[in-house]
């Protein structure tokens, strides 16, 4: 049994200690906004925030979460920065297939909370999630828009 803080609520889950947070979110709690893409922290589709930091939840085992505050895409609009990011994503018409965009939005939210006025280098080093539709330029434009 693990008590997790997810989007401000405590959720009790009965899973093996090595279960990745990603699968706790998706299968145990039915929160499917966080996506499975690779399972080896390559693609970033599973990005969530833990104590404000962008983390690839496929590599976070449930027993390592402890008291960290987990935020997922489902609650992104409850946060002022997250809301700004979403509005920028819509304004810049970023998504195509959209599958990677939950992770991209969470990564951008983490970046802008810690660095409200990111440089191009800041964006490059924080926004490392894969996008097979090639929306990278639109993503960078949306991050700049959200920071403006």
> What residue ranges bind other proteins (CB under 8 A)?
15-16, 19-20, 23, 26-28, 30, 32-40, 42-43, 45, 72-74, 76-77, 86, 89-90, 93-102, 105, 124, 127-128, 130-140
**Which is it for strands 2-6 and 69-71: parallel, antiparallel or unpaired?**
parallel
* Dist. CA 78–CA 121, nearest whole Å: 28
Closest CB 53 distance from other proteins, rounded Å: 19
Closer to other proteins at the Cβ: 12 or 134? 134
For residue 25, give the DSSP letter: I
Smaller CB separation from other proteins, 39 or 52: 39
82-102 burial by CB neighbour count: b if 16+ within 10 A, else e? bebbbebbeebebbeeebbbb
SS3 103: helix
> Nearest approach, Cβ of 116 to other proteins (angstroms)?
20
As measured in angstroms, the least distance from the Cβ of 93 to other proteins is: 6
Give the nearer residue to other proteins in terms of CB position, either 2 or 89: 89
């Amino acid at each position: 049994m693990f008590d997790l803080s997810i989007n401000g609520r405590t959720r009790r889950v009965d899973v093996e200690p090595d279960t990745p947070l990603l699968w706790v979110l998706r299968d145990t709690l039915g929160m499917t906004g966080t996506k499975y893409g690779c399972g080896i922290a390559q693609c970033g589709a599973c990005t969530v925030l833990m104590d404000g930091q962008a983390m690839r939840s496929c590599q976070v085992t449930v027993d390592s979460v402890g008291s960290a505050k987990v935020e997922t895409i489902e609650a992104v609009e409850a946060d002022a920065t997250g809301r700004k990011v979403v509005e920028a994503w819509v304004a810049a018409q970023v998504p195509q297939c959209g599958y990677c965009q939950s992770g991209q939005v969470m990564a951008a939210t983490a970046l802008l909370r810690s660095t409200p006025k990111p440089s191009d280098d800041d964006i490059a080093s924080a926004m490392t999630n894969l996008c097979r539709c090639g929306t990278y330029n639109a993503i960078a434009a949306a991050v700049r828009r959200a920071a403006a």
